[in-house]
Structure 1
Amino acid sequence: MDMNAPPAYMGMSFTPTIHSSVPPNLDPSKVTLPAGFVAAITGAGKGLGYQMALSFARAGATGISISSRTGPDLDGLETAIHAIDPKVKVLKTICDTTSSTDVARLASDIASTFDKRLDVLIANAGIISKHLSPSTTPTSTTRPISSNLPIGILEDTDWQRVLTTNLHGTWLTIQHLLPLLISPASRAASAPATIIVSSSLAAHSPSSLLCPVAYNISKFAVTRLVEHIASDHARDGIQAFALHPGAVLTPQTVGHAAEGGVWEDLLGDDEALAGAFCVWLSRERREWLSGRLRVGWTPDSLSAWSIDRDCICWLCLNLKVCEKIFVAGTEQRDGLNELKACSSDRQTDSGQTFVSKRH
C-alpha cells in the first residue's frame, strides 16, 4: 500500500479539504462550552491526551479529570491547564485502565469531585507493541523492510499486553464511567453526553508494515465497540465516536520516525488537532456522525452532509464494496449516494457490515 496515495476506503480524503493543524473553525479558544462542563481524559500524561486536556481548558471547561499511570506527567499537565485558565478544577488520578479497581476509583473520584456530573469521556489510554532489536528479532522470520516494529504474528509477541490495554482497558473505562454520563446531574446539563475513543486508521489495514498486528486489531475492535455504544445507549442520550487522531509524532511513535523512510512523511499532523476536534464533537449533539472519524476532515463539509447520516455513519472498513465505490475513481459525493443506495443491503461479500443505519 502506497501511503502517499492511500486507497479512498481508508477515509483519509473523505472531505475535500484535509487539515494537518487546527483550522480557525476548530480553534477551541473560540468555543464557549455549556456552564459547568466536565471532561474526563484517560492516558492524559503525554502526547494526544495531554493536548486534549489543554483543548478543553482553552474551550472553557469547568472541570477536567486527567488520569494516567505516571503521576509526574499529570503534575505538569495540571500546571499547563492552570496557565491557560486558573479557574479550571483539575482532578488528577493515577490509573491503570486495565485494572477494574483503578477505573472504579477513577469513577468514584470524578463523581465526588464534580457532583456526579460528566459531559464527555475520552478513552485515550493505549499502547503499541514494543520495538524489536537485532537481539530480539525471531530468526525464523524474514523482514521485508528495515524496521524496529514487529511484522507479522511470529514477531508480534506483545499481543496480550496490547489487546488488554487498548481493548479491555477501553471497555473497563466506559463500563465504569458510562453511569456518570447518564446520571441525572449530567443529563440536567445542556451539553450532550459524549464518549470518544481514540482509534486509528490502522484499524483498516491488513498489513503490519505500518503498525503491528496486535495494534491494528485492537483499534479495529474498539471501533466496533463504539458502534455498539452508539446503538445500545442512544436511548440514554449517548453519542459515541471512534476518532482517528491523525498521523502524529507522539512519545510512542517517535521511535518509528527515527527508523527513516516513510514515517517522516506520515507523522506530520499537529498534536493539538485531535483535542480541538474532540471539543467540536462534544459541544453539541452530532449523533449522525457516530462511527469512525478522522480529525483532519473538514467540519463544515461533515456538517453539510448531515442529511446523509445513513451513509456517513459507516465504518470505512477495508471491504470490497468500499473499494469498488471509491477506488474506481468515483467522486466522493457520488460514493455517498451509492452507499445510500446500498444501505438496505448492509452485508458485503465477506459478511461484514459496512453501513450503520441511524434513525
Structure 2
Amino acid sequence: MANWGLAGINTIVTKLHASPNPAIDPSKIQLPKPFIVCIVGASRGIGAGVATSYAKAGATGLILASRRISGLEETAAACREISPNVEIEIVACDITSSDSVAALAEKTKQRFDGRLDVVVVNSGFSGPIKLKITETDPETFQNAINVNYVGTFLCAKNFIPLLLATTNGAKSFVAVSSMAALIIRGPISNAQYTVSKAAQLRLMECIHEQYYEEGLSSLSVHPGAVASEMALESAPEFKDFLTDSAALCGAFCVWATSDEERRRWMSGRLVSAKWDVEEFEKRKEEMVEGDLLKLRLAVPDAVAK
C-alpha cells in the first residue's frame, strides 16, 4: 500500500494480527472497580466488539449509544451473557446533534453518579466511494464530515469534563480512527471518508495537546479491515480483503486503556489494533522521543546561508 500514501506504516512491527491474541485478551485483564465505559456507536460490528471486550475485562458499567436501539439491545444481551452483574444503560443518540450528545452525557452522569473512565467514539460514515471530487455527492460529503469529525468534537466537548472529574479514573477518550486518514491515492481514496477521518485524527491530536497535562489520554485506534456494514456498503468489491475480526479493536482498546503508563505514552498518536503489542511496546522510547505517529507536513531542508 506504499503507493497509496502509507509508505512505512506497515513496517512499525513485523507481526500483525487479525483477531485478539493472548497479549490483548480482555478476559485476562482485570479492570479496577468501579469502571464505567461509554461506547458511542455500539449497535453492531466494531462497537459491539468494544462493548463485549470491556464486559470480559470486568467493567462494572456500560453506556451503549447509537441511533439504532434494536442493535443496542442485542449488544447489551451479549454483554450480560459475559458479565451478568454489569450495569448497562441503553441510550438513543445522534452523534451529529449537539443536543443529542449533550443529553447522552447528562444521562451518563446521572446513571453512574458522575463517574466515567473511558469514552469510545465508534460512530462512522463513509457512503459510496467516488474517487473524483466532481462525482462526489454533496450530501454524502457533508454526512461524512458531520459524523466522523463534528460528531467526535461533540463527544469530546460533552464527555471530557466527566472524564476529568472522575477521581482515580482512566480518563481515556478514544476515537476509532482509520489508516484511511493517511491515504492520498489508490482505489479507496475518496474525499468524504479519508479527509473527514484525517480531520478527526487532527482533532484528537489537538485534544491531546489541550488536556494531556490535566491527565486525559486521547487515543486514535485503527480497527483493522473489518467486514462491517459500513465497509460492505461503501466498497463491496473489497469484501475479500475485509478479514479482521470485529472483536480486535475492542480487545486493543481494553489493553490500551487498562494501564496508566500505556495510555499516557500512546496519547495523541494513531495506533493500529493489528500491531503486535509486545513488539510495539519495545519501540516506546523511539515513538515518544521522536513524537511519532502524528500528522506532519513534509518540508525541504533549510536553504544553506
Query: TM-score normalized by structure 2?
Result: 0.91
Shift of 1:316: 5.5
Whether 2:149 is the aligned partner of 1:167: answer yes
> Would the aligned equivalents of 1:289 and 1:313 in 2 still touch at CA under 8 Å?
no
Alpha-carbon deviation of 1:241? 0.8
Contact kept in structure 1, 2:12 and 2:280, CA below 8 Å: no
Q: Which has the higher helix share?
A: 2
Which amino acid in structure 1 is aligned with residue 181 of structure 2?
A: A
Partner of 1:238: 216
- Contact 2:5 2:184 survives alignment (8 Å): no
- Paired letter, 2:133: I
Identity fraction in percent:
32
* Residue 304 of structure 1, CA deviation: 1.8
Aligned equivalent of 2:242: 267
**d(CA) in 2 for partners of 1:74 and 1:288?**
32
Residue of structure 1 in register with 2:48 after alignment: 50
Cα distance, 1:24 vs structure 2? 0.6
1:215-266 deviation digits (Å, cap 9, x = unpaired): 000111111111111111012100111111101110111235632xxx2442
Give the alignment partner of residue 75 of structure 2, picking from 65, 74, 77.
77
- Map 1:1-359 onto structure 2 (within 5 A): 7-9=6-8, 11-129=9-127, 131=128, 149-157=129-137, 158-183=140-165, 186=166, 188-189=167-168, 191-207=169-185, 209-256=187-234, 258-259=236-237, 263-285=238-260, 286=262, 287-290=264-267, 291-311=269-289, 313-315=291-293, 317=295, 348-349=298-299
* Paired amino acid for 1:37: F
| Aligned amino acid, residue 279 of structure 2 | S
Task: Show structure 1 runs of 5+ residues with no match.
Answer: 132-148, 320-346, 352-359
- Quote the offset at 1:168 in angstroms: 0.4
* Structure 2 Cα separation of the partners of residues 31 and 289 of structure 1: 19
Take 1:82 and 1:53, find their aligned partners in 2: how far apart are those partners?
Answer: 10
CA displacement at 1:307 relative to structure 2? 2.1
- For residues 82-109 of structure 1, give each alpha carbon's deviation from its aligned partner in whole angstroms, at most 9, with x where no partner exists: 1111100001100001111111110111
Aligned pairs, number: 296
Q: Aligned partners of 1:316 and 1:307: how far apart in 2?
A: 15
Structure 1 residue matching 2:230: 3-state secondary structure:
coil
Q: Select the structure of larger CA radius of gyration.
A: 1
* CA RMSD of superposed structures (Å): 2.0
1:12 and 1:294 in contact (8 A); partners too:
no
Contact map agreement 2:115 2:162 (CA 8 A) in 1: yes
Deviation beyond 6 Å, 4+ runs, structure 1 = none
Note the residue ranges of structure 2 that are not aligned, 5 or more in a row: none
In the aligned structure 2, how far is the partner of 1:310 from the partner of 1:26? 22
1:312, 1:250 → 2: CA distance? Answer: 34
Separation in structure 2 between the aligned mates of residue 264 and residue 121 of structure 1, nearest angstrom: 29
